């Protein structure tokens, strides 16, 4: 059973930066995807970024050039570096994992089986 715990959310002004972390455990799969999602009030959940076990990444168009997904395998931690933040980035951010998954054609993978409980990011104008 894969478990994920997010941290690093907070409130910053537009133009600022935040780094989210996701500590994950129980992942014994050789091939997998880890991803970040977000859900703003009144909106559907959106896939933000995905990284697979080979290091291939994919981003939503709305965050390309501003957000960077990465992993530290020694620490079993997933990161999301968020720069040039905008008020529209305000949302609950979730990390997720999916076994036997690879990034294909640069597309964010959305059908994840395992989810964290989320961390809140608020961007003020």
pLDDT class for 59, splitting at 50, 70, 90?
Answer: very high
pLDDT digits over 30-51, tens only? 889 999 999 999 999 999 999 9
Q: Which DSSP letter does residue 12 get?
A: E
Matching residue, tokens 């992942």:
27
Average pLDDT, the chain: 95
Q: Which DSSP letter does residue 48 get?
A: E
According to DSSP, the β-strands at 57-59 and 18-25 are unpaired
């Amino acid at each position: 059973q894969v478990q994920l715990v997010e941290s690093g959310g907070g409130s910053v002004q537009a133009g600022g930066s935040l780094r989210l972390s996701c500590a994950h455990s129980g992942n014994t799969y050789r091939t997998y995807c880890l991803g970040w999602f977000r859900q703003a009030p009144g909106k559907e959940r959106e896939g933000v970024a995905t990284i697979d076990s080979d290091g291939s990444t994919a981003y939503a168009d709305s965050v390309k050039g501003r957000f960077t997904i990465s992993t530290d395998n020694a620490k079993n931690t997933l990161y999301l570096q968020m720069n040039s933040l905008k008020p529209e980035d305000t949302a609950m951010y979730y990390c997720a994992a999916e076994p036997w998954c690879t990034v294909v054609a640069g597309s964010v993978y959305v059908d994840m089986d395992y989810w964290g409980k989320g961390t809140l990011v608020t961007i003020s104008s």
